[in-house]
Structure 1
Amino acid sequence: MTSTAEQMRSWRGPAVLSFGFRPFFLGAGLWAAGVMALWVLMLTGALSLPTGFDPVSWHAHEFLFGYLAAVIAGFMLTAVPNWTGRLPIVGWPLASLAALWLLGRVAVLVSAGVPPMAVALMDLAMPVVLGAVMLREIVAGKNWRNLIVLVMLAVFALGNGLFHWEAARGNYAGQGYGLRVGLAAVVMMIAVIGGRIIPSFTRNWLARRGPGRLPVTPMQRFDKLALLLLLGALGMWVVRPDGLATGGALVVAGVCHAMRLARWAGDRTGAEPLVWVLHLAYAFVPLGAFAIGLEGLSSGIFGMAAVQHLWMAGAAGLMTLAVMTRATLGHTGRPLTAGGGTVAIYLVLVVSVLARLAAGVLPAEAGMLHALSGAAWIGAFGGFAVLYGPLMLRQKPAKTIPAA
C-alpha cells in the first residue's frame, strides 16, 4: 500500500500542493495581514471596499470565517491522515479546495454587486466540501473518536451561514448570532483539540529534559466536566450574551479552564517558545470567559467588542499562529525549536491583543491603540508569511537544517 510519504513524493507539481498545510497556512497568513491592512485604511477613511457588509462586519467575518477557515482546513487536511491512517489530499484536488476558499474571499469582498445567496454559496463551498472529505476519511478509517471535530466544523459553517443571512437582512452581523455561533465553535475547537495536543507536546518535550512534574493525562473526568461547562456557557452566550446567568456561567467555565491549564505544567516550558506559546494561547480561553462574563454581570469596563478580542485575536489568533509555526517546522523537516523571528511574531501578536483591549478602556486613545493593534497584527502574520512562506513553497529537504 502506498504510504503518506510516498503519496507526497509522487506529486511532481508545485511543492505548495504536496500537503494540506502548505497552501492553507500560507494563504491564511497572507490574508490575515492583508485584511488588517485594508481594515486600517478603512478606519482612516482612505479606502472603501465594494462589499455588501458594513465595514465592521466585513472585518469580523474575514478574520473569523476567512482566516480561521483556512487554518482549520490546513490543520485538518494535515491531521486527518494521521488520525485515520489514510492518504492525504495532494495535488490538484488540494488546489481545488484552496481555490474554493479564495473564491469565498473574493465573493465577500465584492459582494455589493452580487446577490447575497450567491455570495453565501460561494463562501460556504469550501467548508462544506472540506466537511464531506473529512466525513469520508473518518468513516473509511473508522476513526469515530474524531467525529466531534467534524461536528464543530459543521457548527462553524452554520455560524457563517447565519452571518450571511443576518447581513442580507440588513442586520449588524458583526455582533449577531452568526458571529457568536462561529466564535463559540472555534473556542470549543481550541478547548477540545488544544486539550489533546498541549499536554502531549509538553510531556514529550519535558520528558527529554529529565525528571520533574509532567502534565496530567488529558481527557480525565475533570477535563470532560470543564468542556461540558464551557459548552453550556457558550450556548447561553450565543442566545443571550448580556444575561446575568450567562455571565455567571462564563466565569465558572473560566475558573475550570484556568485550573485545567494549570494541570499541564506550562510553568516548566519557559526554555522552548514552541511549547510555552501553546499554554499562553490557551490562557486566553479562560481570560476571555472571565472578561466576557464580567461584562455581562456589570456595567462593563472594556466593552463587549473589546473583550471578544481575547477569544478572537488572543485564543484563536495566537493558538493558530502557534500551531502553524510548529506544524510547518515539523512537516518540512526542520528542528522543533523557535528562532528569534518566531518568538518576535508571537510577542507582537500579544501586543496586538493587549492594545485592542486597552482601546476599550481608554476611548480618548482608541485611535492610536487601534492603529498599534493593527500594525502589530500585520507584523505578526506578515512576519509569519516571510519566515515560513519559503518553507511551504519548497520541497522537504533530505536533511534537517536549523529553523529560521
Structure 2
Amino acid sequence: MHAINLPSKRPTSPHPILNLGFRIFFSAGALFAIVTMLLWSFVFTGHTDIDVQALNPLYWHGHEMIYGYALAIVAGFLLTAVQTWTGVKMPHGYKLLGIFVCWLLARMGWAAFGLGMTVGGSSASLLYIAAGFDMLFVGLMAFTIFRAVLQVKQYKQMGILSKLALLTLGNGLCYWGIVSGDMSLTRIGIYLGFYLIIGLVLTIGRRVVPFFIERGLSAGTTEDIKLRNSKAQDIASLLFFLAFFIVDLFYPNKYLLTITALGVAVVNIVRLKGWYHRRIWRKPLLWSLYIAFAGMCISFVLYALQPWLGYNHSIAMHGLAIAGIGMMTVAMMARVSLGHTGLSIHEPPKTVNAMFFLMVAVFISRVLIPLVDMSQYLLWIMIAQGAWMACFVLFCISYLPLLSRERADGLFG
C-alpha cells in the first residue's frame, strides 16, 4: 500500500503580528528607535538621573543602538530569511512571543536605568536584571537559527552563525564589564557588537542588494538585468574588514588602520560599480540600498583619513553606524515588509522617499557637517537626532498597519 501524505495543518497565531519574526521585531525595533533616541537626547544633554558611576552614558547609548535596535532588526530578518533559505519553520505565535518578550524586558531595564530609576536602592540592579533577559533573547534566537541550518546541513551559512555566536559573546562582555566595574570590557563588548553587525550587513548585503536590484529592474520588462559580483571581491572585503576590525579595536596603529580601512572602501566601491544601473534612481527601495552601501564606503574612507586629519574618531564610527545600520535597516525593512506581507514591492508607500531622505539628512548632519564646522556641534547632533526620529515615525505610520494585519494573499506568514 502507498502511504498517503495528508496536508499539514495550517499554522496559527493569536495575532498576525506574531505570524513571523519580521513582523514583531521590525515593528518593535522601529518604535524603539524613536523612544531610545528621544531618551538619548535627554541623557546626552544631562536631563536624566542616569548613574554615570555604574555606566558611561555613551556606552548606554552604544549598547542600546547595537544590542537593542540593530539586533532586533537582525532577529526579525534572520527569523524570516532562514525559513526561506532552509525550508524549516521558524517560531511563530507564542514561541515567537517568548523570544520577543525577552528582548522587550531587557530594553525596559536599560530604559529605566537611563531614567535613573532604582531597584533596591541601586540603579545598576536594573542592568543585572536586563542582562538575564538580554542573554536569553540572543541565546534563543541563535539556537533557533543554528538548529534550522544544521537540520538541513546548510553549512554555507556558518559565517552568519559564527557572527551570532560572537554577538552573544560581545553582549556578555558588556554586562561583565558593568558587573566588574571595568568600563574597558564594556567598551570592547560594544565595539565588538558594532563591527559584527557591520560584518553581517556586508555579508547579507552582498547577497540581497544585487538580487533586489536585479529583481526590481527586471520586473515588467524584457531586459534581463545581471549585476557583476565576484568571489575575489567577497574574500578581499572579508579579509580587509577583519583586519580593520582587529586593528581599530585592539591595535590602534594609524598606518594599519589607514591601509585596512582603505582596503574595505576600495573593494566595496568596485563592488558598487558592478551593481550600478541608471534606473535604480526611479525606485526608492533600490537607490536607498545603494546609498547605504555608498555611505559605508565613505565612512571607511573617513576612518582611513582620521589619524592624519585629526577629526574625532566618533565621526567615522557614526558614519558607518548611520549608513550601515540606520539606512540599510530602514531600506531592508521597507522592502522585506512588503514582500512578506503579500504586497507589491513595486508600489511602496508614498512616504518612503521622505524616510530615506531623512536618513541621508542624519548622515549629513551628524557626519559631514561636523567635518567642516565644529562650532555648532551640539546643534548638528540635535538635528540628526530629530531627523532620525522623524524617519522612524514615518516608517511606523506607513508600515505598522501592514505588519499587524493578515497577508494580502491570504497565506500565513
Alignment match, 1:102? 104
Structure 2: distance between partners of 1:215 and 1:316: 24
Q: How does 1:101-140 map to 2 (within 5 A)?
A: 101-111=103-113, 112-114=123-125, 117-140=128-151
* Distance in 1, Cα, partners of 2:252 & 2:296: 16
- Map of 1:355 onto structure 2: 365
Alignment gaps of 5+ in structure 2: 114-122
Q: For 1:2-401, what aligned pairs fall within 5 Å after superposition?
A: 10-49=11-50, 52-111=54-113, 112-114=123-125, 117-172=128-183, 176-208=187-219, 209-211=221-223, 214-216=226-228, 218-241=229-252, 243-296=254-307, 298-301=308-311, 303-337=312-346, 338-357=348-367, 358-359=369-370, 361-398=372-409
Q: Retained in 1: the 8 A contact 2:366–2:381?
A: yes
Q: Is the 8 A contact 1:190 1:282 kept in 2?
A: no
Q: How far apart are the structure 2 equivalents of 1:116 and 1:59?
A: 14
Aligned residue in 1 for 2:117: none
Once the 2 structures are TM-superposed, how far is the Cα of residue 181 of structure 1 from its aligned partner?
1.0
Give secondary structure in 1 for the equivalent of 2:265.
Answer: helix
1:392, distance to aligned residue in structure 2 (A): 1.0
Is the partner of 2:164 in helix, strand or coil? helix
TM-score (normalised: structure 2) = 0.89
What SS class does the counterpart of residue 282 from structure 2 fall into? coil
Structure 1: runs of 5 or more not aligned: none
Cα distance in structure 2, aligned partners of 1:227 and 1:306: 23
Q: Over residues 52-88 of structure 1, what are the superposed CA-to-partner deviations in whole Å (9 max), with x where a residue is unaligned?
A: 4322211111111100110011001100111111112
Alpha carbons of 1:180 and 1:361: their partners in 2 closer, same or farther (altered >3 Å)?
A: farther
Q: CA deviation at 1:266?
A: 4.4
User: How many residues are aligned here?
Assistant: 394
SS at match of 2:35: helix
* Separation in 2, partners of 1:198, 1:177: 30
Q: Structure 1 81/247 Cα, relative in aligned 2: closer, same or farther at 3 Å? A: same
Q: Is the 8 A contact 1:73 1:130 kept in 2?
A: yes
The answer as to whether partners of 1:50 and 1:110 remain within 8 angstroms in 2 is no
Q: Which has the larger radius of gyration?
A: 2
Distance 1:235 1:286 in 2: 18
After superposing the two structures, state which structure 1 stretch, 110-119 or 327-336, moved more. Answer: 110-119
CA distance in 2, matches of 1:242, 1:253: 17
Match of 2:120 in 1: none
The structural deviation recorded for 1:316 is: 1.0
Q: Deviations over 1:10-45 (max 9, x none)?
A: 314111111110110001000011111111122333
Q: CA shift at 1:231, angstroms?
A: 1.9
Greater shift, 342-351 or 281-290, is seen at: 281-290
| Distance across 2 between alignment mates of 1:277 and 1:13 | 34
Shift of 1:293: 1.9
**Offset of residue 115 of structure 1:** 7.1
Take 1:115 and 1:328, find their aligned partners in 2: how far apart are those partners? 33
C-alpha separation between the residues in 2 aligned to 1:269 and 1:86? Answer: 33
- C-alpha spacing 1:258/1:277, structure 2 compared with 1 (3 Å): same
Between the two proteins, what is the percent identity of the paired residues? Answer: 26
CA change 1:185–1:369 in 2 (3 A) is same
TM-score normalised by structure 1 residue count: 0.90
